Chains A and B, each alone.
Chain A
Amino acid sequence: DAKTTQPPSMDCAEGRAANLPCNHSTISGNEYVYWYRQIHSQGPQYIIHGLKNNETNEMASLIITEDRKSSTLILPHATLRDTAVYYCIVRDAKITGANSKLTFGKGITLSVRP
């Protein structure tokens, strides 16, 4: 079972920041938080991951609370192309590619409106 809970949906206006919440209250010390997204009719795409520090890349920022029980994915300037299902996933840090299973929940559907 997924170890994360996300609201089913949210929307935001184009050009505004989209803040997607995720709860992972049972996360353990050796588990990372990963975010993937799935645009309609495509395979999931990796966005970002983090352990306890905030992370930023060209796609998004990840803010993890100090107790690590929740996190927020931030898309700083949402566009219509960001409309997708976003999955928050908790995953063991001690992984190799041969042990890289992802456990997906239902995710949160982000709708970006013009």
Chain B
Amino acid sequence: DAGVTQSPTHLIKTRGQQVTLRCSPKSGHDTVSWYQQALGQGPQFIFQYYEEEERQRGNFPDRFSGHQFPNYSSELNVNALLLGDSALYLCASSEAVTHTTGELFFGEGSRLTVL
């Protein structure tokens, strides 16, 4: 049973460019969340997708956008990259039905470096 998979694992971009990161959720999961983790900090919530719609959003500018596909996979897009966007981007999946564990399953992340 594959867990959460993310691609690419590492990438380097220059300021002003655009980047797309991809995530496939754990089998049976229909909700995907994205987090940004700067060096030495805890992950910060970007947004969450369920039923192909953005359901929650953290304190991130509109340069950060996303999409969820019918197969539940998701993309994170960042436009007009800034140096401060350099971080580890984590994808997490979960089930939308009410449950008691509240467990999120995280991928290994995509390490973005902006030069």
Chain A interface residues toward B at CB < 8 A? 2, 32, 34, 41-46, 49, 85, 87, 91, 95-107
Contacts and interface: CB of A to CB of B under 8 A. Distances in A.
Contacts of A101: 33, 45, 48, 56, 58
Interface of B: 4, 29-31, 33, 35, 40-45, 48, 50-51, 55-56, 58, 90, 92, 94-99, 101-109
A105 B42 contact: yes
A97 B109 CA distance: 20
Given A32-B102, A49-B101, A100 B48 contact: yes
B30 A97 contact: yes
Dominant secondary structure at the A interface: loop
A2 B102 CA distance: 17
9 contacts: A2-B42, A41-B108, A43-B4, A44-B90, A97-B29, A98-B55, A102-B92, A104-B43, A106-B42
B42 A100 contact: no
